[in-house]
């Protein structure tokens, strides 16, 4: 196995194309379903049964997400199966159950937290917005494809405060 210090986490929304990309570039990465994406799926179930922003939905959702984060996906998946049997005509339950069951191995949040791996992609998404989009998506900006990666390389060096180290190599 891979020692903890060598673990690489790939936090994604679970899309098939992302899994293929990880398979190609970093097949040993620990796959993590972004916790907010999982929570959104669970929230859709609660809202379909008890309504949006109702106390029963909030209570049920809080319990399910706490369990998911602290004990893993087994209890949540069991609950969704039970709700699916009780409400066979509520398509959103079946849809989200299938989605989450398929990604159960990527929702081992207690293990990830124990190993100090990220369970959300928010920091990466924010970094992309601050580092990449702020430089490349300004009003009126247009880029030739050949210039995007060199510009991003310079931007990353600057934003990571490594200019003095990198400039001699450039």
Q: Are 14 and 36 in contact (CB under 8 A)?
A: no
Model pLDDT for residues 89-140, shown as the tens digit of each residue: 999 999 999 999 999 999 999 999 999 999 998 777 777 788 788 878 888 8
Query: Does residue 2 register a pLDDT over 60?
Result: no
Query: Sign of torsion, CA 30 35 38 42?
Result: positive
Higher pLDDT, 8 or 25: 25
Global pTM value: 0.76
> What is the pLDDT confidence band of residue 154, given thresholds at 50, 70 and 90?
confident
pLDDT at 123: 74
Q: Please compute, for residue 15, the number of CA atoms within 13 A of its CA located in the half-sphere on the CB side.
A: 5
Model pLDDT for residues 55-93, shown as the tens digit of each residue: 999 999 999 999 999 999 999 999 999 999 999 999 999
Higher pLDDT, 157 or 67: 67
Q: Residues with Cβ < 8 Å from 19, sequence gap 6 or more?
A: 12, 31
Q: Which two tokens stand for residue 103?
A: 């990604």
Cα 112 from Cα 167, distance rounded (Å):
37
- Chain centroid to CA 1: 24
Q: Residues with Cβ < 8 Å from 32, sequence gap 6 or more?
A: 9, 10, 11, 12, 106, 112, 117, 118, 119
> What is the pLDDT confidence band of residue 3, given thresholds at 50, 70 and 90?
low
Tally of CB atoms within 10 A around 4: 10
């Amino acid at each position: 196995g891979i020692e903890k210090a060598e673990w690489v986490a790939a936090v994604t929304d679970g899309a098939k194309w992302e899994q293929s990309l990880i398979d190609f570039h970093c097949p040993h990465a620990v796959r993590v379903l972004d916790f907010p994406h999982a929570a959104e799926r669970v929230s859709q179930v609660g809202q379909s049964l008890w309504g949006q922003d109702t106390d029963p939905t909030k209570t049920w959702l809080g319990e399910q997400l706490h369990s998911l984060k602290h004990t893993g996906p087994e209890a949540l998946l069991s609950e969704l199966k039970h709700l699916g049997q009780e409400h066979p005509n509520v398509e959103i339950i079946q849809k989200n159950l299938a989605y989450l069951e398929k990604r159960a191995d990527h929702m081992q949040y207690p293990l990830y937290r124990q190993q100090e791996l990220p369970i959300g992609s928010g920091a990466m998404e924010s970094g992309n917005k601050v580092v990449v989009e702020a430089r490349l998506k300004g009003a009126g900006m247009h880029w030739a494809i050949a210039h995007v990666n060199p510009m991003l390389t310079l931007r990353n060096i600057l934003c990571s405060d490594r200019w003095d180290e990198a400039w001699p190599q450039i």
